[in-house]
C-alpha cells in the first residue's frame, strides 16, 4: 500500500506538460523565497558576483560597448577583485545570443595539459591522483584567448578601452569585501610555498582585511600589455616567457610550445526541451549536459503537483542527479580523445530508460552508467545584455579558489590547477594524456522560448553547477518562481557520486538541504535511505538576466549567498 501511494505521489507523467504556477508564496513555507526584488531596466543589464564589476560592465555599455565588451571588462575586474574565483591564469566558457544572426554561439576557451608530461611521470612519483597545488596540475590558461576570440567576433570598443576600468582599480585600489577577504585568507596556507604566491597575493605575509584597499600594480601592467599587444603577448611574447620560466624553474612541464599552440574552440551549444522551454549548455569537455540529463529524467515527474520541498520532489531530483552523474563519470571528457555520445545522452528516449531505474521508495546506493549508442571548485559567473538584445552567459575559473598557487613572477596573477580533474587510472575517458583538455566543471547556460532569447544564467560552484542549473529551471517552470526567487530558494546538493577523477559511489552519497526545507521532508528522506548531512562547502552562486519581449525590458537577479549585484539602465 505504501509503495502504491509513493508511486502515485511521484506520478510518472512522461508526456505531461506542466504549466508554471503564478505565485511563489503558495508553497511549503507559505512565504516567497526572494531576498530582494528583481532588478528591471529597459536598455541594458549586468549581473556579476561583485558590485564594482557590475558597475564596470554598465560603464562599458554606456560608452557604446557591446554585451561582450562589458562581459570582458567585468571579467577582468573580477580577476583583480575576486582572485579567489577567477583570473587570467584560468579557463573560460561562454554562450552568446547574437541578435544579428539570431542564434547562439558557444566558446570553449579551456586549455590543454603540457605535452611533455605523461602518465609515466606520475607513476614515477608514486602518485595515484594529481595533486591540487604546485606545477603538476597546471594546464594552459585559456581565458585570455577566450577574451580576444569573443572580442574579435562581437566586440565594438578597442581592447584598451575595455580593460581600462580594471587597470584603474588595480592601480588605485578597490575595497575587499568581507566574503572575499575570508576566502582569500583561507586560500593562503596551502599555497604559501608555491613560486611567487606570497609576493602576489599577500602584503608582508598578510591577506587583505575587510574594507582594505587592495592594489595590484603587476596585474595592471599585465592588462596594459594585453591591451597594447593583444593575445599573442600572453601566448608567444614576454608574458608567455615569464609563465614558462616560472613553471619550469619550479620543476614543471608547461612549455612555450604549449602556450603558442593554444586556440579556443567555437562550438554549437546543445539543448533539451523542458516543458516547452529549450535549455542550452555547451558539450563536453564540460559537465553542462548533466543538467540536461537531469531535466530530461525529471520531465516524467509531476513536480508541480508534488510541490516544492516535498519528499517526492527532493527524492526524484537526487535520484535523477545520481543517474546523470554516473554517465558524467564514464563519458564526459575531451572529445578529441574520447568518443562522446552527446546526442544519445541528452535524448528523451535515453532519459526514459534511465528514469525507469529510479525506485520511488529507496535511495540508490550505487548507480551504473548507462549504455548510450556508441566537489570542490571556485568560479565566477556573469551575465550581460545590451540595448541591441545581445545576451552573454560567461563563466571563468581557476578551479580551486586561488588555483595552483604558482604565480608567474611579477605578472600579478596565479595559474589554474584544472589538471587535477584528470584521472590517472588508465583506459578511462578522462585519463590524463599530454595535450588533452581536462574534464571541466564550469558551465554557462541559456534558455530560449519559441526560438527567442529568454534567460542567460549560471551558478558557480564545482559539481554543484549542473544540479543548480536543473533546480533553477525547475523553480521557474514547475514552481512558478520569478527570476530572483528561483536563485534564492533553498537548494538541494548531492555529492559522493562516481567521479571523472576515478572515485566510485558505493554508499549512496550525501544529501545537503539548505535551511527552508521542512523537517517532515528531512525525516521522510532519511526513512527512504538518503544520508542527510550539514557539512557542505557551498550551495553555489547565481546570476541571471531575463528578457521580457512584450514589455521590452530586462530583469536581473543576483545571488544572495554572495556579494553579487544585478543592475541596469
Q: Could you give the residue numbers annotated as active site?
A: 379
Cα R_g (the chain), whole angstroms: 22
DSSP string, 126-145: T-SS--SSSSTT-----HHH
How many whole angstroms from its chain centre is CA 447? 16
Contact assessment for residue 416 and residue 399, using Cβ atoms and an 8 Å cutoff: yes
Closest CA relative to residue 488, chosen from 476, 506, 498, 500: 476
How many whole angstroms from its chain centre is CA 268? 18
| Cross-strand partners of 532 | 511
Q: Report in angstroms the alpha-carbon separations of 502 from 112, 342, 366, 492, 507.
A: 20, 21, 14, 24, 15
Contact assessment for residue 456 and residue 383, using Cβ atoms and an 8 Å cutoff: yes
* Residues belonging to the chain: 569
d(CA 351, CA 10): 16
| Cross-strand partners of 554 | 41, 547
Cell, residue 515: 535551511
Q: What angle do CA 405, 417, 165 make, to 5 degrees?
A: 70
| Cross-strand partners of 449 | 452
Amino acid at each position: 500500500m505504501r509503495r502504491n501511494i509513493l508511486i502515485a505521489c511521484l506520478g510518472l507523467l512522461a508526456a505531461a506538460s506542466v504549466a508554471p504556477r503564478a505565485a511563489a508564496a503558495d508553497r511549503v513555507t507559505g512565504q516567497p523565497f526572494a531576498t530582494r526584488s528583481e532588478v528591471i531596466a529597459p536598455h541594458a543589464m549586468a549581473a556579476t558576483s561583485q558590485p564594482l564589476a557590475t558597475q564596470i560592465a554598465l560603464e562599458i555599455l554606456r560608452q557604446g560597448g557591446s554585451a561582450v565588451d562589458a562581459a570582458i571588462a567585468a571579467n577582468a575586474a573580477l580577476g583583480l577583485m575576486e582572485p579567489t574565483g577567477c583570473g587570467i591564469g584560468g579557463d573560460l566558457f561562454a554562450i552568446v545570443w547574437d541578435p544579428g544572426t539570431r542564434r547562439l554561439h558557444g566558446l570553449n576557451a579551456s586549455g590543454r595539459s603540457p605535452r611533455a608530461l605523461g602518465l609515466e611521470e606520475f607513476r614515477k612519483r608514486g602518485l595515484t591522483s594529481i595533486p591540487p597545488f604546485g606545477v603538476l596540475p597546471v594546464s594552459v590558461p585559456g581565458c585570455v584567448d577566450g577574451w580576444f576570440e569573443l572580442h574579435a567576433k562581437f566586440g565594438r570598443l578597442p581592447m584598451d578601452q575595455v580593460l581600462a576600468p580594471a587597470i584603474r582599480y588595480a592601480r588605485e585600489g578597490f575595497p575587499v569585501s568581507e566574503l572575499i577577504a575570508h576566502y582569500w585568507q583561507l586560500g593562503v596556507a596551502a599555497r604559501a610555498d608555491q613560486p611567487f604566491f606570497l609576493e602576489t597575493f599577500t602584503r608582508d605575509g598578510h591577506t587583505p582585511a575587510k574594507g582594505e584597499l587592495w592594489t595590484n600594480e603587476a596585474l595592471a601592467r599585465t592588462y596594459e600589455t594585453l591591451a597594447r599587444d593583444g593575445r599573442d603577448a600572453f601566448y608567444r611574447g614576454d608574458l608567455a616567457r615569464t609563465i614558462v620560466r616560472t613553471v619550469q624553474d619550479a620543476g614543471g612541464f608547461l612549455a612555450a610550445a604549449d602556450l603558442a599552440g593554444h586556440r579556443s574552440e567555437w562550438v554549437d551549444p546543445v539543448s533539451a526541451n523542458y516543458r516547452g522551454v529549450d535549455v542550452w549548455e555547451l558539450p563536453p569537455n564540460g559537465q553542462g549536459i548533466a543538467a540536461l540529463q537531469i531535466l530530461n529524467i525529471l520531465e516524467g515527474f509531476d513536480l508541480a503537483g508534488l510541490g516544492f520541498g516535498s519528499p517526492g520532489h527532493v527524492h526524484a531530483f537526487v535520484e535523477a542527479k545520481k543517474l546523470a552523474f554516473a554517465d558524467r563519470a564514464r563519458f564526459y571528457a575531451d572529445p578529441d580523445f574520447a568518443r562522446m555520445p552527446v546526442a544519445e545522452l541528452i535524448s528523451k528516449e535515453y532519459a526514459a530508460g534511465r528514469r525507469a531505474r529510479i525506485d520511488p521508495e529507496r535511495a540508490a546506493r550505487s548507480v551504473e552508467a548507462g549504455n548510450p549508442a556508441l566537489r570542490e571548485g571556485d568560479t565566477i559567473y556573469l551575465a550581460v545584455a545590451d540595448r541591441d538584445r545581445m545576451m552573454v552567459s560567461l563563466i571563468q575559473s581557476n578551479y580551486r579558489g586561488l588555483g595552483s598557487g604558482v604565480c608567474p613572477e611579477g605578472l600579478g596573477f596565479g595559474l589554474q590547477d584544472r589538471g587535477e580533474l584528470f584521472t590517472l587510472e588508465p583506459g578511462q575517458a578522462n585519463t590524463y594524456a599530454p595535450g588533452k583538455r581536462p574534464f571541466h566543471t564550469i558551465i554557462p547556460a541559456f534558455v530560449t522560448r519559441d526560438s527567442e532569447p529568454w534567460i542567460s544564467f549560471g551558478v558557480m560552484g564545482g559539481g554543484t553547477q549542473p544540479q543548480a542549473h536543473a533546480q533553477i529551471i525547475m523553480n521557474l517552470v514547475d514552481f512558478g518562481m520569478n527570476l530572483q526567487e528561483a536563485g534564492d530558494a533553498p537548494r538541494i546538493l548531492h555529492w559522493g557520486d562516481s567521479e571523472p577523477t576515478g572515485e566510485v559511489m558505493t554508499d549512496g552519497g550525501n544529501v545537503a538541504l539548505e535551511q527552508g526545507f521542512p523537517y517532515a521532508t528531512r525525516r521522510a528522506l532519511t526513512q527512504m535511505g538518503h544520508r542527510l548531512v550539514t557539512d557542505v562547502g557551498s550551495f553555489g552562486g547565481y546570476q541571471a538576466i531575463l528578457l521580457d519581449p512584450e514589455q521590452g525590458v530586462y530583469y536581473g537577479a543576483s545571488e544572495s549567498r554572495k556579494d553579487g549585484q544585478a543592475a541596469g539602465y
